Structure formats: structure tokens, C-alpha cells
Amino acid sequence: MDKSGAHVDKLLEIDVSVVWSAGKYRHVVEARSLLCYWAVRDLGLSMTSLAKRLNLSVAAIGQSVKRGEWLVKKKSYHFS
């Protein structure tokens, strides 16, 4: 998880602690969506464990993963 968080931190130039905090600001939602997408798809974390860590519902994590996938395709972000 730390790997995806650190990657989002560098990619979007946002402090990773902001990603873990509550909020619906556009830059926070975008960063959290990328974190969720990469954590689930590339690191193999379950949406349930991610939901507990972020204090969100599994459905909200599912939407974040979809949003993150869209962002990766739209803006050509890469997880490395």
C-alpha cells in the first residue's frame, strides 16, 4: 500500500497524508482514486481491506477503482 501511496504522492505532487484523510476536494478524490485503482489492480489488495483503511464503504472503493482506471487511461498515468 505504501508503494502506491508514495507513487500517487510524487505523480500528483500531493502529500500522501492528504490522500488518507477525509474530503471531497477534486485533487484529493483524484489522488485517492488512483491509490485505490493501483492498490487493488496492481498490488492485489482487497477492496474490503482498503475500505477499512480509508473508512469508506466497499461500494465507494469500487467507484474509486473505476474512477482511477478512467484517470489512468485519460491522463496516461503509469504505476512503476
pLDDT digits (tens, 9 = 90+) for 17-36: 777 777 788 888 988 999 89
* SS3 assignment, position 78: coil
Q: What is the share, in percent, of the chain residues with pLDDT greater than 70?
A: 85
Mean pLDDT of 65-71: 95
Q: Which domains does the chain have, with CATH numbers?
A: 2-75 (1.10.1750.10)
Mean pLDDT of 48-52: 94
Q: Which residues contact 21 (CB under 8 A, 6 or more apart)?
A: 28
